[in-house]
Structure 1
């Protein structure tokens, strides 16, 4: 590759995602989590008794046959996992110099987050 090919918009770029997509994803997941948290807080404020059945009703809310409560809870939890993945992955990339250890930590983090999402889905959809 000649020197002129490395300059300008078409230069060779290697490495991670270079920020924009991760920046947007982190903000979008934060908005989803904030909206869902607001819904939880409003539900807790306006429901007279917060017992198991009232929380179950919140998560089992349906529109027709569509389980909206479960879908929104799952979306919020997937947003949390994705938000955490971006942040923790960036920490590993910034502060762990050894490539093998960094890869191990990233895989471990990803496996833990996927397991958490699967466990959450199993609990949520068993309601």
Structure 2
């Protein structure tokens, strides 16, 4: 009986760590959205001054920043996996990954500027 040769596992071995990170970020984003829905139902800001007062609370700005960090981390894991699965030439994949990272970092800095600017 001929046994098949064992296949060598290749790749970066992100697997479980990334799966867990995406689930945790998804849960944190869901909790934030539920809390924000409740806050907006109670506060119901109608104009810029009310929104400014609402986001003047330190805890809400921190929670919003955590939401955006989770969103961008979640997006990066998804985009990296998509690019690794479907864009095989490294000469194309690497610049696209760098563009995604650059865009996500820009958006994070922009979010910080909006929240604390």
For Structure 1 versus Structure 2, the TM-score category normalised by the shorter chain is 0.7 to 0.9
Post-superposition, which runs of at least 4 consecutive aligned residues in structure 1 deviate over 6 A?
Answer: none
Distance 1:104 1:29 in 2: 26
Q: Which has the higher contact order (CA 8 A, sep 6+)?
A: 2
Q: How far does the alpha carbon of each residue in 1:57-109 deviate from its partner, in whole angstroms, 9 at most, with x for none?
A: 22221xxxxx2221111110010000000001100000001111111111110
Higher helix share: 2
Displacement, 1:20?
A: 0.5
Is 1:114 aligned to residue 105 of structure 2? yes
- Distance across 2 between alignment mates of 1:111 and 1:57: 32
Give the alignment partner of residue 41 of structure 1, picking from 23, 37, 40: 37
Query: What's the counterpart of residue 30 of structure 1?
Result: 26
Number of corresponding residues: 111
Gaps of 5+ in 1: 1-6, 62-66
TM-score, normalising length: structure 1: 0.79
Q: What TM-score comes out, normalization by structure 2 length?
A: 0.85
Gaps of 5+ in 2: 1-5
Q: Deviations over 1:30-74 (max 9, x none)?
A: 11111111122112222244322222222221xxxxx22211111
